Structure formats: structure tokens, C-alpha cells
Structure 1
Amino acid sequence: MMDTVTSSKPAVLFVCVHNAGRSQMAAGYLRHLAGDRIDVFSAGSEPADRVNAVAVAAMAEEGIDLLGAQPAILTTDAVRRADVVVTMGCGDACPVFPGKRYEDWELTDPAGLPLEAVRPIRDDIRRRVEDLVAELTA
């Protein structure tokens, strides 16, 4: 039985400073694991020019393609649309609205790290996203 009412779908926004590593990996996992059951957005307070190539490689090992992903600027509209806002080291740059659920995931920034060092960050993100999917689709 498929629920086609889009307004009942939870929306999740992942935010990190550059929207090039952690938030892109989290969004990739959430799209992969939840399919169309959850709306997924990601953004950065100071978006980079491109997604971190090592993050792309780490996700490719999991069968998730981030090649087409593009860092986006964080807007207040994006935060308003989200039911859950997951921040990853963006500190006070993330606007806070009443009635939203905020989570701060303390994750190492993969920028400048080799693939071997990014894999554990990726795996940590996957565990957290799996928990989030279980919660939001229960």
C-alpha cells in the first residue's frame, strides 16, 4: 500500500559548513535507504565549489553515486521546509526555528583526509542515518 500524500512525508535537512562531505554522504545514504518515503535536502553555510572527491569515492564503494551532487547554500526556506535539521559542525550558522527537531552529529570533517580515514566517518554516518530512517518511518 503506497501513501501518495506528499505532505505527510517527513523532510530532513543535513547541514555542514561546506556541504561537500558529511552532509552529502548523509543525504546520499538517506535517499538510498528511505527511497521516496522521506524528502532529503542538504546545504552548507559556506558551500564549496564541488563535493569532496574522497567522499564521492567512499560512497561509490557503497554503491551510492554522489557525482551529480552540488554543494548548495543554506537558506532559511530550506530550514522551514524541514521537519528534522541535522547539523554537522556548522555551529551558529544554522538558523533555529521553533517546532523543528534539531540534531547535532559530531563527525570528523573528511576534508583533506585519505580514503582510509574517510571510511569510518562514512560508516558512522550510515549508522546514524539508519537510525533516523527507522525512527521517521516507524
Structure 2
Amino acid sequence: MPTIPEVLFVCVHNAGRSQMAAALLDHHAQGRVHVRSAGSQPADQLNPAVVAAMAEMGLDISKEFPKPLTDDVVRAADVVITMGCGDACPIYPGKTYLDWQLDDPAGKDIDDVRPIRDQIEARVKALIAELTTGT
């Protein structure tokens, strides 16, 4: 029985990019990938423009909340994708690390968040194809 890959998305506040990526991966992978997200300095709440942009796609992330980055979640991951968290993410052997350079949606309105969401969705779809080849 094949192992289901575990993906961890990390950004600074876990209020925008990493939350969108986690929701999109969970949605598109349909159980073929386990997904988590975390922040090196978690915010108090999700970015409202991010919540609205995801709702436009039929994905309700309004009940999500920013989570702290811990060694345990990094150790559990097979793939760690950082999005502007700098050197805050611990590095462990045997993990795949990717850095997605994306604009930070902090302080942006929904019109500026949509292109970020769409870039994340394209990357997530490519990631799913890569992770699930042969499953």
C-alpha cells in the first residue's frame, strides 16, 4: 500500500499564502496527499481578503486559524514548502524543501489577492502531479 505524502506549507504569519496553499492542495488532491500549514510568527487571525478569495472558489477557510511552526510538524512532513519565512524553518535530512516566491497578501484587497491565489493553485496542481505519479 503506497504511503500518502505529507506536505507542510510555511509562511511567516500562516494567515494568507500557506493557508490558501493548504486548502487548495487538500481540495485538489482529494485524499491523495496529507496537508498542514504553519507560520514562523503566526498572526491572530486569517487575512479577510484571503478568506474571501477562497470563498469565491467555493472553499471555506473561515474556520481555519494561524498555527505555529514546530519541529514536530516539520519532522512529520515529506515535503516542506516555504513562502517567505526566511531561515525560520528547521532543516532535517530526508525532506524535500521547496521555496515558492509569492507576493504576500498581507494588507492587500481581494483584487490583489486573486492573482496570488491563482499562482498558488497552479503550483499546487503541478505539485499534486509530481507527488502522485504512479499512485
Structure 1 unaligned runs (5+)?
none
Q: Percent identity?
A: 62
**Is 2:130 the partner of 1:135?**
yes
Q: 5+ unaligned residues in a row in structure 2: which ranges? A: none
Alpha-carbon shift at residue 60 of structure 1 (Å)? 0.5
Name the residue aligned to 1:26.
21
Aligned to 1:62: 57
The residue that corresponds to 1:110 in the other structure is 105
SS in 1 for 2:74: helix
Kindly state the Cα deviation for residue 36 of structure 1 after the two structures are TM-superposed.
1.3
Q: Which residue of 2 aligns with 1:119?
A: 114
Structure 1 position 75 matched with structure 2 position 70: yes
Residue 32 of structure 1: how far off its partner (Å) = 0.4
Superimposed CA distance per residue, residues 49-87 of structure 1 (whole angstroms, 9 cap, x where no aligned partner): 111110000011111110111110000110000000000
- CA distance in 1: counterparts of 2:63 and 2:132, whole angstroms: 27
* TM-score relative to the length of structure 1: 0.94
Alpha-carbon deviation of 1:99? 0.9
**1:93 correspondence with 2:84:** no
Report the equivalent of 1:50. Answer: 45
Question: Per-residue deviation at 1:37?
Answer: 1.1
Q: CA deviation at 1:35?
A: 1.7
**1:39 Cα shift?**
0.6
Please state if 1:38 is matched with 2:47. no
What's the RMSD between the two structures over aligned residues? Answer: 0.9
Question: TM-score, normalised to structure 2's length?
Answer: 0.96
Q: Find runs of 4+ consecutive structure 1 residues off by over 6 angstroms.
A: none
Deviations 1:78-116 (A, max 9, x none): 000000000000000000001100000000000000111
Q: How many residues align?
A: 133
Superimposed CA distance per residue, residues 3-27 of structure 1 (whole angstroms, 9 cap, x where no aligned partner): 6x6xx10000000000000000000
